[in-house]
Amino acid sequence: MQKAIVDKLMDFCHLNGQQIAELWYKAICTSPKTPSFCKMSREGCILHALTLYKNMGQMFFSDDCYKTVERVLDVGGFVEDFYARGIPVEEVVYALILMRRHIWLYADGQALFNLDVCDMYNYVNSTNRILLVFDYATYITSSKYREFAAKTGK
């Protein structure tokens, strides 16, 4: 049963990534906590969010979740791009928090889950794993910001 719920959520992220990323972009552009993102191109921001949403299943099901999250962030140039544009690390971290939140907001808005009491346990486990993916993304982002700052002397 848990596999069916998780598969449904991962398929949902993959198939609806563009719509979720669009809602996320609207949120970061209107949030007083992420003013630097308004200076970036809409396409660039959405591409980063879409990369995470489209690869959610790969990160979620990975035996080494940390390494897979790190690879997805590296391949997409997530941290490097935001760092190079001078986006403060606290804004990038908050943007990740909003990315995570928008998965649930969009899924809830689409009535993705009609769970009975028995399914709720599996749903919570799925939620915890997605939290882990974004926790790792936040940690990796913060660490790489420190590395980049050390290299550039900023």
pLDDT tens digits, one per residue of 3-31: 566 777 788 888 899 999 999 999 999 99
Count of other CB atoms within 10 angstroms of residue 44: 13
**Cα-based torsion angle of the residue sequence 142, 146, 147, 151 in order, rounded to the nearest 10 degrees:** 150
- On the question of pLDDT at 65 being above 60, the answer is yes
For residue 60, give every residue at least 6 positions away whose Cβ sits within 8 Å of its Cβ, in sequence order, or none. 6, 10, 129, 130, 133
CATH, domain range 2-152: 1.10.490.10
Nearest-CA neighbor of 106 among 12, 36, 1? 12
**Do 10 and 130 meet the contact criterion of CB atoms below 8 Å apart?**
no
pLDDT band, residue 125 (cuts 50/70/90): low
**Segments making up each domain of the chain, as ranges:** 2-152
Burial class (CB in 10 A: 0-12, 13-18, 19+), 48: buried
Answering whether pTM is above 0.85, one says no
pLDDT tens digits, one per residue of 94-103: 999 999 888 8
Amino acid at 17: G
* Residue 7 three-state SS: helix
Q: Residue 106's pLDDT is what?
A: 76
pLDDT tens digits, one per residue of 24-61: 999 999 999 999 998 889 999 999 999 999 999 999 89
